[in-house]
A and B are shown apart, each in its own frame.
Chain A
Amino acid sequence: DAKTTQPTSMDCAEGRAANLPCNHSTISGNEYVYWYRQIHSQGPQYIIHGLKNNETNEMASLIITEDRKSSTLILPHATLRDTAVYYCIVREVGGYNKLIFGAGTRLAVHP
């Protein structure tokens, strides 16, 4: 079962920041937070992941609360091509640990 809770859907205006929240209150100490997105009829695309520190890459920033019970994915300047379903997943690193997808957040970026 998915260990995360996300809003079903969100809207964002093009050019504005999109802030996608995720609750993972039962996360354990050795579990990372991963974010993937899926554009319609394509395979999921990795975005970013983190353990406890905030992370940033060319796609997004990940802000993890100090207690690690929630996080926020930030797309700093959303474009129409960012319209997708965004999945927040907690998972251990190592071994053959699988990714279990929840329902995700459907982000719609509009002009």
Chain B
Amino acid sequence: GAVVSQHPSWVICKSGTSVKIECRSLDFQATTMFWYRQFPKQSLMLMATSNEGSKATYEQGVEKDKFLINHASLTLSTLTVTSAHPEDSSFYICSGLPAGTRTGELFFGEGSRLTVL
């Protein structure tokens, strides 16, 4: 299957700082990428849909000014958690939808664990 790489795998930051997480599709072009958040012992929650070259579409209840998403190329999307607080500590996972896919299969990254002190 296709490969999606996230960086960093884990990050610890101080409260009030901003953290950027990168999501790269290594062997396919992703016109659409999705960002999820997962708290311990819970399922994945969709945060936003990111389309290359346009603004992201956020799910209800997700603050767009806090979670900045940029999808500047067909292989890279970034999520920036601005002014992070301890309640933002979570597992963030991205997925890419290959351009022109007929199966609609999404490929997921390995996730980035954020801990805000």
Contacts and interface: CB of A to CB of B under 8 A. Distances in A.
Contacts of B102: 93
Contact residues on B (Cβ < 8 Å of other chain), bracket: 20 to 34
Contacts, number: 60
SS class, residues of chain B in contact with chain A: strand
A13 interface: no
Interface of B: 1, 4, 6, 32, 34, 36, 43-46, 49, 51, 91, 93, 95, 97, 102-111, 113
Contacts of B95: 43-44, 99
A89 to B, nearest CB: 10
Contact residues on A (Cβ < 8 Å of other chain), bracket: 20 to 34
B104 A97 contact: yes
B76 to A, nearest CB: 17
Interface in A85-111: 85, 87, 91-94, 96-104
Contact of A96 (B4, B97, B111): B97
A-B pairs, top 6 by smallest CB distance, nearest first, are A43-B108, A93-B104, A101-B44, A96-B32, A101-B43, A44-B108
29 contacts: A34-B104, A36-B108, A42-B110, A42-B111, A43-B108, A43-B109, A43-B110, A43-B111, A46-B1, A46-B105, A46-B106, A46-B107, A46-B108, A49-B103, A91-B104, A92-B104, A93-B103, A96-B32, A96-B49, A96-B51, A96-B97, A97-B104, A98-B46, A99-B46, A99-B106, A100-B46, A101-B45, A102-B43, A103-B43
